Structure 1
Amino acid sequence: MASSTPAAAPCADVAVVILNWNGRAFLRQFLPSVLAFSDGATVFLADNASTDDSVAAVEQEFPAVRIIRNAGNLGFCEGYNQALAQVGAEFRYYVLLNSDVEVTAGWLRPQRELLEGNPRIAACQPKIRQYSTVATGRRQFEYAGAAGGYLDQLGYPFCRGRLFDTLETDHGQYDDPRPIAWATGACMLVRTEAWHALGGLEPVFFAHMEEIDLCWRLQNAGWQVWYHGGCTVFHVGGGTLHKSNPRKTYLNFHNGLALVYKNTHSAELAWVLPTRLLLDWVAAVRLFLQNHRADYRAIVKAHADFFFRRSYWRQRRREQPTKLRSAERAGVYQGSLVWAYFGRGQRKFTDLPANKLT
């Protein structure tokens, strides 16, 4: 006799958590796709004390969405840390999803199945394309994630499909699932067990590079991070801090130094950190000479704050008993991306020598 018990939804053990601050327009635009295509996952809105009516609008228009109210505008990192603490361990997986992301049919289940099939995979991202590139058939990769995140030996991030500001068009060249260095925080599936074991995101970062730090710590702890090219989402990007904003410059340089200091193997840190400091000052002088004084001051402040917090960063570094060498981590280019891009003119991921990619 056939069982009358209904089958569980494919992603019933997944919590999709969207962090919000005054994002009513994005929520109204993109929540319908999340609710329609998430295969039974529970959708949460974690609100960072918005001053618009975005929470009221979601409660009225999307009653299936569960609301979490944070006490203030805690930023991306602590906003998610506190929200996921409230979501708890009821769910096997979390998804960190930006409010400006349009998901598509089949975006979630293949990623979950990938993690189900390999218990050492802690996090995964789908293919990320730009939302607004209608003229190119919406096939251009998006800056924040593209086809999976990589690092060079100095800790500079890039992606398959994006080197610095050069974005490629997706022709299916990066459809293969593979281990990577980091998965984008714009759309990251993460194993609940791993998230809580590592304590979530670095709170001092506030925002920017926090997902790179998390994924680097995951690899140091023995986990893997993957990209799944069989799933696609579209990301608007730049909605919180535009790349021309000096605050973004500050976070980029401050968090970049902390990222390298916290996670790099001791034998490599001795030359990686001084080289990063030197290149930062080259960038600062260049901005000063180009009359971008606000960005110059942002870099000076970023360095000052990094060294002011040096005792904190030493403690965070000590909390990781194991730090892998760059050749032992997936998704690392064994060379300098700065030199490859500006010195050798290598503008695409496929231009980089395959034998230098781990």
Structure 2
Amino acid sequence: MPAVDPAPRDYGDELAVVTVTYSPGETLDAFLDSLKGATDRVLRVVLADNGSTDGAPERAAERAGVDLLRIGENVGYGTAANRGVAELGPEVGWVVVANPDLVWGEGSIDALLAAARRWPRAGALGPLIRQPDGFVYPSARLLPSLGRGAGHAVASRVWPGNPWTRQYRQSDEVVAERPAGWLSGSCLLLRRTAFDSVNGFDPRYFMYFEDVDLGDRLQRAGWLNVYVPTAEVVHTGGHSTTRADVSARMLAEHHRSAYRYLADRHRGVCWAPLRAALGLGLRVRAAAAVRRAAR
């Protein structure tokens, strides 16, 4: 895991948005158009581009206040987000890291900033996330444990309402502002001092679980992850991760990241048998998921 930075830096109070793009298509236009109503603040937007080929980031960069950071290859979500944040000057103390396939609710970023003032130890704040059909996505969850994780992994497909999944997703919690174990990385307001204190996203995660890992490390460093349902966004769906040529890789990557997260937290010789069992079980589950997706 990344080392903790012992010397926090002083930042100003300006706000910037970093979004990681990978051939985002028309979703990026909707993201930028709706962003105008999300806050009264003047924004700088950084597109951390992982090698798009559709021209959408280049077109978006013609807008005022939008900068294109060409990474040139797909380095993964967390690494690209880190590079985007590194482009920002010391005047920027608040950073929104978000997927480019979001539509922002009116005043949503201002609502997150208002909550940050109520929670001075909040390192990350996340909004209520709706799917296009209006369903509220469970974006504020408990951190995975071996018991919850195993129950969720084994039973979630055949028994969606099982107690392990419901507990992990906090399905029975009242929709209210509260601390959470971790928040969906599809939309986060980050206190830059907190983000720096844990050296950002762990670059070993190509995709998936980088947000779970960040939430855990922020908590260990004394920060809070705060769910703010008065701020709303709509997640229209991952344009770049639903194509047939990447779906199998993403399924495999999800399980690889799950193993990395759990193995990192169960180190040492005494946990070696557990790590071996986890690795085998997750490889079997990944192979089954890939076969189902190919049907």
Please indicate, yes or no, whether the TM-score normalized by the shorter chain is above 0.5: yes
Q: Which residue in the other structure is 1:233 paired with? A: 233
* Distance across 1 between alignment mates of 2:190 and 2:43: 15
Change (3 A) 1:183 1:282: same
Question: Is the partner of 1:56 in helix, strand or coil?
Answer: helix
Change (3 A) 1:180 1:225: same
Q: Which residue in the other structure is 1:208 paired with? A: 208
* Distance across 2 between alignment mates of 1:68 and 1:37: 23
Cα-to-partner distance string for 1:85-112 (whole Å, 9 max, x where unaligned): 1114321111111110001112112221
8 A contact 1:35–1:43 mirrored in 2: no
Question: Is the partner of 1:229 in helix, strand or coil?
Answer: strand
* Distance across 1 between alignment mates of 2:84 and 2:78: 10
| RMSD between aligned residues | 3.5
Q: Which residue in the other structure is 1:73 paired with? A: 74
Query: Is 1:141 matched with 2:169?
Result: no
Change (3 A) 1:268 1:75: same
Query: Is 1:153 matched with 2:145?
Result: yes
Change (3 A) 1:230 1:51: same
Q: How does 1:1-358 map to 2 (within 5 A)?
A: 13-44=14-45, 45-60=47-62, 62-131=63-132, 133=133, 138=134, 140-142=135-137, 146-154=138-146, 156=149, 174-242=174-242, 245-263=247-265, 273=275, 276-277=278-279, 279-280=281-282, 283=285, 287=288, 292=291
CA shift for structure 1 position 116: 2.4
8 A contact 1:102–1:234 mirrored in 2: yes
* Distance across 2 between alignment mates of 1:55 and 1:184: 23
CA shift for structure 1 position 181: 1.1
8 A contact 1:150–1:157 mirrored in 2: no
1:53 maps to a residue whose letter is G
CA shift for structure 1 position 220: 1.6
8 A contact 2:139–2:183 mirrored in 1: no
CA shift for structure 1 position 186: 0.6
CA shift for structure 1 position 267: 12
Change (3 A) 1:76 1:269: same
TM-score normalised by L of structure 1: 0.64
Q: Which residue in the other structure is 1:307 paired with? A: none
Change (3 A) 1:72 1:198: same
* Distance across 2 between alignment mates of 1:22 and 1:233: 21
Ranges in structure 1 where 5+ consecutive residues have no aligned partner = 1-10, 296-358
CA shift for structure 1 position 224: 1.2
* Distance across 1 between alignment mates of 2:102 and 2:270: 37
Cα-to-partner distance string for 1:132-187 (whole Å, 9 max, x where unaligned): x1xxxx2x123xxx34122342273999xxx779599xxx9743111111111110
* Distance across 2 between alignment mates of 1:291 and 1:206: 18
* Distance across 2 between alignment mates of 1:35 and 1:125: 19
* Distance across 1 between alignment mates of 2:269 and 2:219: 17
Change (3 A) 1:294 1:234: closer
Between 1:62-71 and 1:206-215, the stretch displaced more is 62-71
* Distance across 1 between alignment mates of 2:15 and 2:150: 28
CA shift for structure 1 position 196: 1.4
CA shift for structure 1 position 272: 6.0
2:196 maps to a residue whose letter is H
Work out the number of aligned pairs and report it. 267
8 A contact 2:140–2:184 mirrored in 1: yes
8 A contact 2:82–2:200 mirrored in 1: yes
* Distance across 1 between alignment mates of 2:13 and 2:151: 33
Q: How much identity, in percent, do the aligned residues show?
A: 26
Cα-to-partner distance string for 1:30-84 (whole Å, 9 max, x where unaligned): 2110123222141312223322322331133x22323333343322121111111
1:195 maps to a residue whose letter is F
1:34 maps to a residue whose letter is L
Ranges in structure 2 where 5+ consecutive residues have no aligned partner = 1-11, 167-171
Change (3 A) 1:110 1:294: closer
